[in-house]
Amino acid sequence: MKENFRFNIAYDGTRYYGWEHQPNIDMTIQGKLENVLARMVDAPVEVIGAGRTDAGVHARAMVANAFLETDLSEEEIRDYMNRYLPDDICINEVKRAGDRFHSRYNALGKTYCYTCYVGATKPVFDRKYVYVLEQAPDVEKMRLGAEYLMGEHDFASFCSNPRMKKSTVRKVDQIDIRQKGDYLVLTFHGTGFLQHMVRILTGTLLEVGFGKRTPESMAELIEAKNRALAGPTAPAQGLCMMQVDYH
């Protein structure tokens, strides 16, 4: 009989075309997971992720689930997957879950972290995981701008999908911006995020930090519901999914 298993997954997204499997593209996170699990149980497997990270985006704790028919223990499943998955994907934990657990629909909130590098030299060993800035932005102005973005709003101005049929209303309850040495770290927590939303929020807040727009203009951007008026989409490599919340 099939049982529902919950996975906690870390991955370096550099080589991948994002989470979601795509036709004729082997290099997706979901595709790699499904291939290994299908080999393990000798049957097709569908892996459901808590979110769909974009190409080049990383995760420290993506959550996914899949129904499997297997006699293996949770630890044996974890070890089997880690043996056959590429070195840039790791299964941190495998747990049995109730039949009704759905990694995406049951998620209550998500935390993303975006890291910029503002040092004078090159971040040789972190270059795949940071956005290198040519100058340091004004962090205090960025924080003032972020205050306008917190709460429940229509974030259509910060969504890269112009054909979005579902609601673009989301609740962002934390935007923490702090500099730690040569690194500027933006942490976002909310109920959910639209396509490229965290990267567009980051690109727009950086423009505030560079004096290209005022903190107060964030309120106008929300009202405008127009992606063309917001800032650029920050590069993928600086973004990492940190946590998914459940009951």
Give the 3-state secondary structure of residue 133. coil
Of the candidates 116, 128, 110, the residue with the CA atom closest to the CA atom of residue 194: 110
Catalytic pick among 26, 54, 71, 182: 54
Output Rg (C-alpha) for the chain, integer angstroms: 19
User: Strand locations in 12-132, DSSP E?
Assistant: 48-49, 58-68, 89-97, 109-117, 131-132
Integer angstrom CA distances of residue 133 from 51, 151, 180: 28, 28, 15
Residue among 38, 92, 35 at smallest CA distance from 68: 38
Structure tokens at 13: 């997204």
- What CA–CA distance (Å, rounded) separates 58 from 215? 29
> In degrees rounded to 5, what are phi and psi of residue 74?
-60, -45
156 within 8 A of 88, measured Cβ to Cβ: no
Please give the biggest Cα pair distance in the chain: 60
CB atoms within 10 A of CB 150: 16
Amino acid, single-letter form, for residue 179? Q
Q: Is 71 a catalytic residue?
A: no
Which residues carry out catalysis? 54
